Structure 1
Amino acid sequence: MALTFLIRGDWSGGFSRSRARSRPENRLKPRLRTWELEHKILVLLLALSFIRGILYSAVIPPWQAPDEPDHFQYAALLVRYHRFPIKQDVAADEWLQTQVYASMQEFCFWARRAHTLAPAALEEEYRAAVGHPPLYYLLGAFLLAPFSHCDLITQLHILRLGSVLLGTLTVLVAYLAARALFPEDASWQLAVPAFVAFLPMHTFITSSVNNDSLAELLASLVIYSLLKIPKDSFSWRRVVGVACLLLLGVLTKRTTTFAIPLAALTIPLYCLRAKPLKSPLTSEASRCPLRWLGRLYVWLLIAITIGLGLWALTLQSPISNLQSLSSILHLPSSIALSILLT
């Protein structure tokens, strides 16, 4: 009897334990614990990225980041004139140039950068970056407006703080892109944002006044959106989202134009891989990818045209528009002219 009881007890206990393990809620517990740990590590990475950027912005002397005087003056002139400045405004605004020149001299800009004596006045290369795409400077002017009465260095650090926030958001987008690429591998999902967060040049650039910080964020969002297409399939929201991101990128920095051919190549490859074309004339399944592809290219064309047109409005003359567009796209002037006329 005792042996029978033990046998029955062992079997019933084992059966009960196997049933408990087979319950869906018990199978989900390890995944939930993994997600909670991953979430905590991600929050820690974002916090470290933000703190690291703050430290960089505090340690780097004022004006020592690449082209920082130029970018700062553009945002400051937007606050001062309440419109996009032109070269005549830069030449006429001696007060801002004098203030920036005095600050650069105070922090030994020329001695540290070029190991030379300061010039008699602010040189042309260190004046406002007029003619650059305006989106970053509009954001900078929005941040500067409440602090326009503060001294120059305080305003500089306000803009640096905005760049640090943009750099931290880029780390978050890197995590989302890694999740789209490696949905089952938590180590890669965390390794990618960790690499971005602790990359010295990324932290250096995104802790200074520079339009690279916003351009980097928008380009990362474009890549993330393209990675989501195979999972979420095509939709008007996805198409409009990609087009809007490309538009914002063109309005931020010229180097983001690399994302346009990237999107133009990615979508057709996905269409051909996801749904083989059997009979384009009769098969509805084969027509759908082509229809969505056509819609995408229409939105891309609209985004590029609007972006180039709005950016052209910020320049000082049609000739400079033509020359700048030709140099950016590496096109003959005749083709650049036809794009501007559209």
Structure 2
Amino acid sequence: MTTTQPRPAIAVTGLRKSFGDHVVLDGLDLTVAGGTVFSLLGANGAGKTTAVKILSTLLRPDAGDVRVAGHDVVREPDAVRAAIGVTGQFSAVDKLLTGAENLRLMADLHHLGRAAGRRRAAELLELFELTEAAGKPAGAYSGGMLRRLDLAMTLVGSPQVIFLDEPTTGLDPRSRRDMWQMVRELVAGGVTIFLTTQYLDEADELADRIAVLDRGRVVAEGTAEQLKRRIPGGHIRLRFADPQSLDAALGVLGEAVRENDAFALRVPSDGSLHSLKTLIGRLDERAVPVDELSVHTPDLDDVFLALTGERTDEKVTA
């Protein structure tokens, strides 16, 4: 019995794009499963922005096969646009209009009709907890409210795929977490999110899969944990109640490094479950008591630096 694989939300094969003699995308391949969050990280000049513009039909590729929601971006651009939503780094909200008026305007642009447009606007105002502020000019909204309204406007047409560009730039920590929760709820409802962000912790928190783009090519792809395990520096930290237990552990774990200011050891590890089980088994065989155990792996900043050779505080935004 054969099973049919679900159609990917985004499928890119051999994507190429140049500007004059400058090659921006050099044979890019991407596959994004439906109902997931996919994050594309890239340094300035890596080709990230160009890739998103092509996927959202704002730019024509030079070569390659690019399909979004099953539609070819070159031959079927209108079908692609009907299936996607785009929320840019800078809000598309008209601050002179009220929140409700902004949503009704988007409903008109989607040809929903007056009654259907008002219903959809009311639904989204409630979903994004903007009902009380619906009649206020958007210029009076806080940064978090503006981002929520911007995302609500993107959802008026019920898109299958949403491109989120820097969705939490400038937001306070509470507003960032509110936005993260909204993204999770959208994905739980079957929407696919293509995320670009300057905050690597945001990609770590939200993305089901992450691709790192460097010089127009994907240099690494996987889950956040898979990417972290590619980078050396991970370790398991063991803390003991007394020096005798520490010395006993040192006798068992020859590769361990002692910390100077505590009864603690660091054991090199890739952070995998197998390595953790092996370590615990060795200590258990010798009945070595461990007071505390913690696993430490490199973060996405370390991954990005190692894979691109760029400083993450300056270079991850384009």
TM category (shorter chain) comes to: under 0.3
Q: Higher relative contact order by CA 8 Å / sep ≥ 6: 1 or 2?
A: 2
Greater radius of gyration (CA): 1
The TM-score normalised by the length of structure 1 is 0.26
Q: Which protein is richer in strand relative to its size?
A: 2
The TM-score normalised by the length of structure 2 is 0.28
Q: Which protein is richer in helix relative to its size?
A: 1
